[in-house]
């Protein structure tokens, strides 16, 4: 049981550190939309941000929203850990949180791959496919894993309820 408390402490620390970043991300998106940022040297995935290019602005905004998706998944994970600590493992909120985490991480991984692909094609003028493990694939795999966990917990809850009714 000590391990779950350590995990909860780590996730809480990451959450606390991420809170000011949300304000920065929202501020950056608003600045991109309403201010001239041509004087700043901003890089997205090692590509220079062009403040006058609509595609650059769009990719920056989508990247910011993608970051917020990951933070939302982290929020639901914190919520799930609270239920685990209180030994409410088969609660409906745990199952729905696993499903939300899975959906958010899967969407985030797909959006990350899309952004990376667009940046390679548009800015670097090359098409390349990499075989192996990268952070985008890991996000998608984690998302699918949480979706599977949601289904497993749903089945386990049904079995638990059936066993509770059996004399």
HSE-CB for 166 with a 13 A CA cutoff = 6
User: Is 75 in contact with 15 (CB distance < 8 Å)?
Assistant: yes
The band of 167, judged by pLDDT with boundaries at 50, 70 and 90, is low
Give the C-alpha separation, 71 to 84, whole Å.
Answer: 20
CB atoms inside a 10 Å sphere around CB 161 = 11
Q: Which residue has the tokens 């899309």?
A: 114
pLDDT for 29 = 78
**Joined tokens for residue 128:** 């390349």
Q: Which of 62-76, 124-138, 149-163 has the lowest mean pLDDT?
A: 124-138
The proportion of the chain whose per-residue pLDDT surpasses 90, expressed as a percent, equals: 49
The pLDDT of residue 93 is above 90: yes
Please give the residue that has the higher pLDDT: either 65 or 31.
65
Averaged pLDDT, 8-12: 95
What values do phi and psi take at 44, rounded to 5? -120, 120
Q: Tell me, what's the pLDDT at 45?
A: 55
The whole-model pTM stands at 0.84
Indicate whether 111 pLDDT > 60: yes
Question: For residue 119, what pLDDT is reported?
Answer: 81
């Amino acid at each position: 049981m000590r391990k779950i408390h350590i995990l909860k402490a780590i996730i809480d620390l990451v959450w606390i550190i991420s809170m000011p970043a949300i304000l920065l991300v929202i501020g950056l998106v608003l600045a991109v939309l309403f201010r001239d940022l041509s004087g700043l040297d901003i890089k997205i995935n090692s590509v220079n941000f062009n403040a006058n290019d609509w595609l650059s602005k769009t990719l920056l905004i989508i990247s910011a929203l993608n970051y917020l998706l990951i933070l939302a998944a982290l929020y639901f994970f914190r919520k799930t850990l609270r239920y685990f600590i209180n030994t409410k493992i088969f609660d409906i909120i745990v199952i729905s949180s696993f499903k939300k985490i899975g959906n958010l991480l899967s969407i985030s991984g797909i959006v990350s791959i899309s952004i990376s692909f667009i940046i390679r094609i548009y800015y670097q003028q090359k098409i390349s496919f990499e075989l192996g493990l990268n952070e985008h694939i890991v996000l998608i795999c984690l998302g699918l894993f949480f979706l599977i966990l949601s289904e497993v917990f749903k089945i386990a809850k049904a079995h638990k309820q059936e066993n509770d009714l059996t004399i």
